[in-house]
Structure formats: C-alpha cells, structure tokens
C-alpha cells in the first residue's frame, strides 16, 4: 500500500493473493532479485525534473501521448549503458536515437539510476550530457576498471514494441540471442572453454603447417646427408690411394729437388773454380822496374799453375760426384720400377677416383666433408626430434576436436533445457501457452555466411555452383539422420576422406552439377586451406522456433518458422517467453500493442500477477487491464505541461489521485467508464 488507510485495506482485500501475506511472513524477505530502486531526471529538454521510486515488483508508467513515457524508459536505458543494444532493429533504433537526441540536446542534462543487485550492493549510474549531443555514462563514487563490461553484465532487459516484433521475425534468429541471454551464466564457462579449444586447435593447425615444412626439410636433409655420406665414403675409400699418390709425388719431388740442388752446387763449384783461375792478378809491365821483379814473376806463374790445378781438380771432382749420384739411381735395380711409378702416379690415382666417381681435386676435402657430414647428421637428428614432437602434439587434435564438438553440444543442451524451463514456467496449470524447439547446427544464414568465404575465385563450374553445393550438404546433414552428436564439418571431412561414406543421394545431387568430391577436397585443401581450417572451428548457430498454443493448451495457433502467426500472436508468444524466464528487471514499452484483448486479460494479466513477486517489471502501457487487473504495485502517471513531461500522480491504486489518473488516461475519464459500463448491461 502507498500508506496505511482504509482504502489501502480495501484494495488489499480486492487482491488478497497479491497483497496479503500470513502474519510473520515479511514480503521483503522474498524479494532477493536485482532491481532498479529509482530513476531521476534533471535539466532535460523534454522532461521535467522528477524522480520515480520504483516498486521491486510490478510498475506501470502511464500518460497521454507526448507526456514523455518512452523518454523516461530510454533515459533509463542510456544510464544503464544499454543505448547501443544490438537487439535494436532499424525502426526501434531510429526511435531510440530520436529520444536520445532529445535527452542529450541540452548540456547539463542528467539521468540517474539507483541500482541494487541481487546481493544487495547498490550503485548510482549517471548519464550526463557534457555538451549538446555528447553524453556519457559512469558509476558515481566508484572506480571502475572496465565500465563497459560492468554495464554489459547488468542483468536488466529493455524491449520496445518494435523489438517484440523483431524477436519473432521469421529468419532473424533473434530468439537464439534472447535464449543465450537467458542462459548467459551457464553458457559463459562453455563459451570460454570453446574459445580456449579454438585457440589450441588453431595453434595445432599452425603446427600442421610446420610439420609439413619439417617433412620437406627432412627430405632435403636426408638427401643432403646421403650425398655427403656417399662423398665421404668414396673419399674415405680413396684415402690409401691418395696417401700412396701423395707419397710418390713427395718422393719424386725429393729426387728432383735433390738432383736440382746438386746440379746447382756443381755449377756453382765449377764457376767458382773458373772464376778463381780467370781472375788471377796480372803483374803488368811495371814489374820491370821492381827490384825483385824476376822473383815475383816466378811466384806469380807458380800461383797461376796452382789455380789451374785447383780448377781442373774441382772440375774432375764435380764430374766424379755427378757420375756417382747418377750411378746410385741408374745402377740400382729398384729404380726403374720406382721411376715408372713416378710417371704413372697421376694416371693411376685418376683412374681410382673415376671408379669411385670422385674428382681427384676433391679428395683432399675429406676433412671438410667429414665436418659437414657430422653437422648435417646433427641437423637431421634435431629435425627428427622436432617432427616427433609435432606428431605427438598433433596426436591431440582428434581429442581436442571431440572436446570442441562436445562443448558445442553442451551449449545446445543448455539452450534446450532453458527452453524447456521457459515452456514450463509459461504454463497455466497443465495448459501450454508456448513451445520452444532448439535445432542444432541448423541456421541457414550463419552457414551461408561461413560457406561463402570458401567460394572459389573466378567463374569455374565449382565456383558457379558453390552456394548450391553448400545447401546440398546442409540439407543432407539436417535430413540424413546424423543426429545432433556431430557437426556438419566433421561429416564433410569424412566424405572428403572417403567418398564411399557419402550417401547415394548426395552423390546423385553432386553428379547433376557435374561436381566430384575430389574437386571439393582439392579446393578446400588448396588455396582456401586456412579458411577451411578456420571454418572447422566455427559452430553454426542453432535455430529456435517459437510455437503459440490455443487456450486449450494443445492445439497450435502457429509458429514463427512457418510465418503463420500474426504480429499480435507473435508478440503474445514473445511476451510469454520474456516473462517466463529469469528474475532480473524487465522493462517493456507498450507490450499490449497489437495484442488480442482477450489474451491480455486471460493470459498476460495472470502471468504478471504470478511473476511480479519474483522479479521487477516496469511497463509503459495504455491498457488499463495491465496496471489495474495486473495489480501494479506502483503506478506512475505523467502529463504534458509547458512542453515538458511531468509527474501527475504516483503510488498504488489506494491513492485517489492515482485512480483518477488511471481513469482519465486509460479509460477516457470516469464518465466514459460509466457509459461503457451501462452499455455492457451490467
């Protein structure tokens, strides 16, 4: 009640299920859900300064056209960082942008939300306009490391009437996005695990390329090592021949050098002896005047004779020595054979090299080749170890893919379970209101987006038929009885590895296009190989179909997938889904638009009454059934005054000004309500 009064008690007993608790049962003890405590607006162009203190349960914002109801909600959306909601379609986005322009038109405008989470922690979220058109949000009196993450994770949902339509648009698969939001906490660790697995497998794909290059390097190294081994062995086998050849050449060189040196000595001795004789000093004609001239003449002649004897003696000694040396070789019976070996040494060695296929000039490189051979063997062993490491690493690939597929299936199972819980929560008694069907790996749009990236370039037959080939694969996967325990990529990979595993109908369809699986395999393992590897790490979206049942809870009215639901029926199903899941605040702008009035009273109103105790609901509405029969805990009425939307009344229906506002705004006034009552004959 707004305040204790007789009218408050009367209102309480009009709605005992909603308003009355047994003694000692504190209603606040049941309200552990997150909630928006209040919304304040100040200095805005279109809205007057005001504050709404919300009930933790059901709140209805009402007002005439142009009173600012939607502006209040969109201001709340901006303050909570939900202004760039990806769920907004073009029409809803345009409306939000128009209101955002009004809210940010004036510098100094502020929208403040007082928030309390499920643990009782409170924050003040402020959207403030620094200059015209330039607004930003922040959390007051608190330092935030990552504001965007904090705002993104705030458990509150905003929906305009256009967004309700968008949720159930055929082919949009927005239902999957919504289902994932409902499953966020359960999906979060699975999506984190998927990210880790994709990164790990991606690294293994890189290791695959490294292994292939390693294999090429090994082939090259093995060939180079074999060549060096052959060269080393050939040269090693020639070592004895080489040593003998070198020895013969050394002996021959020694003899030649020795003979040359002796000959030089002989010539030098002969020349010295001749020089001694020929350079004898002549006494000249002046000897006639010497006192002892005759004596000196005699001595001179005897010295010259002695020199001549020396010259002849040296000459004879040289010839004797030359002859002795010559006889030492010529007279030795071994010399002819040795001399023959000298003459044939080069030819003999060249022939031995030819037999081994080695250039004689390279025989001396055996040490160099031996070093290269050793280094090459070391490099080869290192490469073998690297290949073994990579092979062991890549041995994890099948297991990681199994984990990835299991993770995808776990996400699918979470969605199915949450979908079943939503269906159960939306039931009235044993009557089903909606049904939700989740199909694995089945969204055509996300599949085509991925498949097109693998399309061959150019105008080849394969390229021209690529999208049709993808659709053939997808249809075979969905209709071929493969179940949900494996992915299309796994099936496609198995078909490429062995065409025998392909079903006959698939071969027939490809045959019509004159395309073989071999062509597809060559393409995917060729120029788009990296793209194909990346594709195998992408989970095609599940599809979610929403069914609306008739009031008997058994017969289908229609379903989203076949387009048999009207806009009103689609909105009916979407609302039932939104209200049936979660305990976080739900903010909806005019949910009754295009809804059947009977559904509003028979289905939506009881659902609001039942769910408002476990979550906060804030609705902008023009339909009196929602705040009155839905028993809104707080009604906030707006009116247009002086070009601003301002508060007219606030509180529960126990307040007279609130009741009057509801009558005027939603019933057309008390007189209009009375006239309708009289015409209804009751």
From residue 335, give the alpha-carbon distance in Å to each of 169, 331, 338: 112, 8, 5
Q: Does residue 72 form part of some domain?
A: yes
Q: Is the pLDDT of residue 570 over 80?
A: yes
Mean pLDDT of 434-450: 92
Average pLDDT, stretch 486-500? 88
Is 556 within the bounds of a domain? no
Between strands 58-63 and 110-116, the pairing is unpaired
Question: What integer best gives the mean pLDDT of the chain?
Answer: 85
Say which range, 274-283, 543-552, 616-625, has the weakest mean pLDDT: 274-283
153 and 271 share one domain: no
Single residue among 357, 385, 418 that ends a domain in this structure: 357
Q: Is the pLDDT of residue 403 over 90?
A: yes
Q: Where are the beta strands (DSSP E) in 401-492?
A: 434-439
* pLDDT tens column, 65-88: 888 888 898 889 889 988 765 554
127, pLDDT greater than 70: yes
Verify that 164 and 44 share a domain, yes or no: yes
Residue 272 lies in a domain: yes
User: How sure is the predictor about 374, in pLDDT bands with cuts at 50, 70 and 90?
Assistant: confident
Cα separation, 564 vs 548, whole angstroms: 10
Number of domains forming the structure of the chain: 2
The C-alpha atoms of residue 138 and residue 486 are separated, in whole angstroms, by 45
DSSP conformational letter for 113: E
Whether the pLDDT of residue 407 is over 90: the answer is yes
Residues 163, 251 share a domain: no
How much is the average pLDDT of 168-191?
86
CA-closest candidate to residue 634, choices 18, 173, 48, 164: 18
- Report which of residues 680 and 185 the model is more confident about: 185
> Does 72 share its domain with 156?
yes
Angle at 619 between CA 160 and CA 65, to 5 degrees: 75
Find which of 45-54, 368-377, 606-615 is predicted with most confidence, using mean pLDDT: 45-54
pLDDT at 681 over 80: no
Q: How far, in Å, are 275, 298, 301 from residue 281 at the CA level?
A: 12, 14, 11
* pTM listed for this prediction: 0.71
Q: Are residues 50 and 155 located together in one domain of the fold?
A: yes
Residue 373 has pLDDT above 90, yes or no: no
Between residues 361 and 250, which one has the greater pLDDT?
250
Higher pLDDT, residue 474 or 568? 474
CA dist., res. 682 & res. 276, Å (int):
170
Q: Quick one: tokens of 301? A: 């002649």
The CATH code of the domain that includes 127 is 3.40.50.300
Q: Are residues 58 and 147 in the same domain?
A: yes
Same domain, 247 and 332: yes
| Cβ 310 vs Cβ 277: under 8 Å | yes
In a domain? residue 201: no
Residues 248 and 353 in one domain: yes
pLDDT bracket for residue 421 (50, 70, 90):
very high
In a domain, residue 99? The reply is yes
CA distances (Å), origin 494, targets 404, 526, 626 = 17, 17, 57
Q: Pick the most confident of 164-178, 273-287, 532-546.
A: 532-546
In a domain, 540, yes or no: no
Q: Which residues, listed in sequence order, are joined to residue 157 by a DSSP beta bridge? A: 586
SS3 324: helix
Report if residue 471 sits inside a domain.
Answer: no
Q: What percent of the chain has pLDDT over 70?
A: 92
Residue 343: the pLDDT is 87
Q: What is the CA radius of gyration of the chain?
A: 53
SS (H, E, C) 342-408: HHHHHHHHHHHHHHHCCCHHHHHHHHHHHHHHHHHHHHHHHHHHHHHHHHHHHCCHHHHHHHHHHHH
CA dihedral 200, 203, 205, 211 (to 10 degrees): -130
Max mean pLDDT among 53-57, 339-343, 576-580, 598-602 falls in 53-57
Torsion of CA 80, 83, 86, 90, to 10 degrees: 150
Strands (E), 414-565: 434-439, 543-549, 556-559
Q: Are 591 and 161 in contact (CB under 8 A)?
A: yes
Confidence of residue 417 (pLDDT cuts 50, 70, 90): very high
* Confidence (pLDDT) at 25: 57
Q: Is 205 left (phi over 0), alpha (psi -120 to 50) or beta?
A: alpha
36 shares its domain with 161:
yes
Domain span including residue 636: 30-168+583-657
> Would you state the structure tokens that stand for residue 89, as one six-digit string?
């379609």
What does the pLDDT average to over 360-371?
67
pLDDT-derived band at 579, boundaries 50, 70, 90: confident
Q: Is residue 98 part of a domain?
A: yes
Q: Residue 232 half-sphere exposure, CB side, CA atoms within 13 Å?
A: 16
Residue 62's pLDDT is 92
Which of the pair, 429 or 576, is modelled with greater confidence?
Answer: 576
CA 507 to CA 484: how far, in whole Å?
23
Instruction: Give the best-scoring range by mean pLDDT among 35-49, 75-89, 285-299, 328-342.
Output: 35-49
Domain co-membership, 162 together with 255: no
Both tokens assigned to 191: 């999506």
Please say which residue of 309, 332, 357 terminates a domain: 357
Q: Distance between CA 294 and CA 298 in Å, rounded?
A: 6
Pick from 357, 390, 419: which residue ends a domain? 357
Q: Which residues, other chains included, contact 387 with Cβ-Cβ below 8 Å and sequence gap of 6+?
A: 211, 214, 215, 218
Q: Do 159 and 152 form a contact (C-beta atoms < 8 A)?
A: no
Cβ neighbors of 222 (< 8 A, separation 6 or more) are 380
Helix or strand holding residue 213 (H, E): helix 184-237
Q: 192-210 burial, b for 16+ CB within 10 Å, e for fewer?
A: ebbeebbeebeebbebbeb
Q: Are residues 161 and 36 in the same domain?
A: yes
């Amino acid at each position: 009640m707004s305040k204790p009064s007789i009218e408050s008690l009367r209102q309480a007993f009009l709605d005992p299920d909603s308003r009355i608790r047994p003694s000692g049962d504190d209603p606040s003890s049941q309200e552990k859900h997150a909630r928006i405590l209040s919304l304040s607006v100040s200095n805005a162009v279109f809205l007057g300064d005001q504050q709404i203190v919300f009930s933790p349960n059901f709140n209805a914002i009402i007002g005439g056209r142009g009173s600012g109801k939607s502006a209040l909600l969109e201001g709340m959306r901006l303050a909570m960082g939900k202004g760039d909601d990806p769920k907004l379609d073009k029409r809803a986005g345009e409306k939000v942008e128009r209101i955002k322009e009004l809210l940010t038109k004036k510098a100094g405008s502020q929208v403040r939300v007082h928030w309390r989470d499920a643990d009782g922690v409170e924050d003040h979220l402020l959207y403030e306009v620094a200059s015209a058109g330039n607004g930003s949000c922040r959390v007051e009196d608190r330092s935030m490391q990552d504001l965007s993450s904090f705002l993104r994770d705030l458990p509150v949902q905003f929906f305009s009437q256009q967004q309700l339509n968008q949720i159930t648009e055929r082919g949009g698969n927005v239902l999957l996005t919504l289902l994932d939001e409902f499953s966020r906490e359960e999906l979060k660790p699975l999506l984190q695990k998927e990210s880790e697995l994709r990164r790990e497998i991606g690294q293994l794909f890189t290791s695959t390329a490294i292994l292939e290059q390693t294999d090429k390097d090994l082939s090259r190294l093995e060939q180079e090592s074999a060549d060096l081994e052959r060269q080393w062995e050939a040269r090693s086998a020639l070592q004895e021949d080489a040593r003998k050849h070198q020895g013969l050449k050394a002996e021959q060189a020694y003899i030649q050098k020795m003979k040359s040196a002796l000959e030089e000595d002989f010539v030098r001795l002969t020349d010295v002896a001749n020089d001694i004789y020929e350079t004898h000093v002549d006494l000249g004609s002046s000897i006639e005047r010497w006192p002892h001239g005759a004596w000196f003449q005699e001595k001179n002649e005897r010295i010259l004779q002695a020199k001549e004897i020396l010259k002849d003696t040296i000459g004879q000694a040289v010839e004797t020595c030359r002859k002795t040396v010559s006889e030492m070789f010529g007279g030795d019976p071994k010399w002819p054979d040795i001399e023959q070996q000298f003459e044939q040494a080069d030819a003999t060695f060249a022939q031995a090299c030819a037999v081994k296929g080695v250039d004689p000039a390279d025989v001396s490189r055996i040490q160099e080749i031996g070093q290269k051979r050793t280094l090459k063997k070391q490099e080869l062993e290192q490469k073998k170890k690297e290949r073994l490491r990579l092979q062991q690493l890549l041995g994890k690939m099948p297991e990681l893919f199994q984990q990835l597929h299991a993770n995808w299936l776990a996400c699918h199972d979470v969605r199915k379970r949450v979908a079943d819980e939503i269906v159960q929560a939306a039931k009235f008694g044993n009557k089903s209101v909606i049904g939700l069907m989740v199909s694995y790996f089945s969204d055509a749009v996300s599949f085509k987006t991925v498949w097109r990236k693998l399309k061959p370039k150019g105008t080849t037959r394969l390229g021209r038929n690529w999208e049709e080939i993808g659709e053939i694969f997808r249809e075979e996967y969905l209709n071929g009885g493969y179940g949900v325990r494996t992915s299309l990529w796994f099936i496609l990979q198995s078909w490429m590895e062995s065409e025998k595993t392909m079903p006959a109908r698939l071969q027939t369809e490809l045959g019509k296009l004159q395309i073989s699986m071999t062509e597809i395999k060559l393409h995917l393992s060729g120029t788009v190989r990296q793209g194909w590897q990346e594709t195998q790490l992408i989970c095609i979206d599940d599809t979610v179909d929403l069914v609306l049942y008739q009031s008997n809870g058994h017969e289908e009215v229609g379903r989203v997938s076949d387009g048999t639901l009207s806009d009103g029926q689609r909105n009916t199903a979407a609302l039932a889904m939104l209200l049936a899941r979660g305990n976080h605040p739900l903010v909806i702008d005019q949910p009754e638009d295009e809804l059947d009035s009977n559904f509003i009273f028979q289905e939506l109103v009881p659902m609001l009454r039942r769910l408002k105790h476990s979550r906060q609901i804030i609705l902008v509405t023009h339909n009196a059934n929602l705040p009155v029969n839905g028993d809104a805990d707080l009604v906030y009425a707006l009116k247009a005054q002086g070009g601003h939307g301002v508060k007219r009344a606030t509180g529960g229906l126990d307040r007279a000004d609130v009741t009057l506002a509801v009558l005027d705004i939603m019933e057309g006034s008390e007189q209009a309500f009375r006239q309708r009552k009289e015409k209804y004959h009751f």
